[in-house]
């Protein structure tokens, strides 16, 4: 599947989407543009969000299910500078017809689209936390092994306190991030709302992974920047996680709102 929410003029401010869903008898006609649709080229169906009454903001959003490849959908791939997976797609919806009240994969939820998107994003943020934990753990393993094997001044570089500091700081941050993720996942599995917890996990884990990869490149010295090792590619790859599913700044905003600020 793919998730079509973001638009050229509506990223962090999802309530300002401009794609429209216009009622025609018992069907809805979609018009608009979506972009940064991960898996958009290969998905069997899409979860598309459009506004049926933009004056109502969050209450006027409409969730619709639509099969990939239907007439009226015109998409093109966008190259990802981070080199992530299959890349993303920008899609134009031009008079996309015959989206019924019960779409191919479920109902078209009038007025509940925005809230459905927020629930979906909470799960996505939790998933990103898990991904970042795994990436950081792998990079720490690479750095630790290298620090034991690489010698300078007649001893392994891992005996130097500066190198030990990079490794120990990374280990502590990974352990903290993993526990945050497990707690959030446990609450999610038990049906608890995890708006605050998922944003904390996403914010901390994505920033942590970037710090860990940066430190492990430092441990490797010049070799860490070479394409002979995977760290250079991972360094570019993890940068996206502070942006997708809501930027770090948006996560702080969400967390502040849960505190009543």
* Biggest CA pair distance of the chain: 81
Please report the sign of the dihedral spanned by the C-alpha atoms of residue 198, residue 204, residue 206, residue 209: negative
Catalytic residue, chosen from 7, 68, 173, 245, is 245
Picking from 127, 121, 129, 210, the residue whose alpha carbon sits closest to that of residue 170 is 210
Report CA Rg, the chain.
22
Distance, in Å, from the CA atom of 73 to the CA atom of 69, rounded to the nearest integer, reads 6
Of the candidates 142, 144, 179, 170, which has an alpha carbon nearest to the alpha carbon of residue 159? Answer: 144
- State how far the Cα of 95 lies from the Cα of 29, in Å rounded to an integer: 6
CA dist 63 and 122 (Å) reads 17
Catalytic residue status for 173: no
Q: How far apart are CA 259 and CA 261, in angstroms?
A: 6
Strands 45-51 and 2-4: parallel
Specify burial of residue 149 (Cβ count, 10 A radius: 0-12, 13-18, 19+). exposed
Instruction: Point out the residues that are catalytic.
Output: 245
């Amino acid at each position: 599947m793919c998730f079509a929410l973001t638009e050229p003029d509506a990223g962090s401010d999802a309530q300002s989407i401009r794609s429209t869903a216009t009622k025609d008898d018992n069907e809805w006609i979609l018009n608009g543009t979506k972009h940064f649709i991960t898996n958009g080229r290969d998905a069997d169906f899409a979860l598309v969000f459009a506004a049926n009454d933009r004056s109502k903001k969050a209450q006027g959003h409409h969730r619709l299910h639509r099969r990939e490849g239907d007439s009226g959908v015109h998409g093109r791939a966008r190259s990802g500078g981070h080199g992530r997976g299959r890349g993303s797609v920008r899609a134009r919806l031009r008079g996309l017809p015959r989206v019924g009240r019960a779409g191919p994969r479920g109902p078209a939820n009038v007025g509940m689209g925005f809230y459905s998107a927020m629930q979906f994003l909470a799960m996505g943020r939790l998933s990103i936390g898990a991904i970042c934990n795994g990436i950081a753990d792998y990079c720490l393993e690479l750095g630790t092994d290298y620090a034991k094997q690489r010698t300078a001044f007649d001893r392994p570089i891992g005996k130097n306190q500066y190198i030990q500091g990079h490794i120990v700081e990374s280990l502590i941050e990974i352990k903290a991030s993993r526990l945050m993720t497990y707690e959030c996942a446990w609450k999610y599995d038990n049906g608890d709302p995890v708006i605050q917890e998922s944003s904390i996990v996403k914010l901390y884990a994505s920033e942590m992974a970037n710090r860990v990869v940066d430190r492990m490149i430092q441990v490797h010295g010049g070799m860490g920047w070479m394409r002979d090792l995977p760290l250079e590619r991972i360094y570019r790859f993890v940068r996206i996680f502070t942006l997708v599913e809501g930027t770090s700044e948006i996560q702080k905003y969400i967390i502040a709102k849960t505190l009543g600020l």
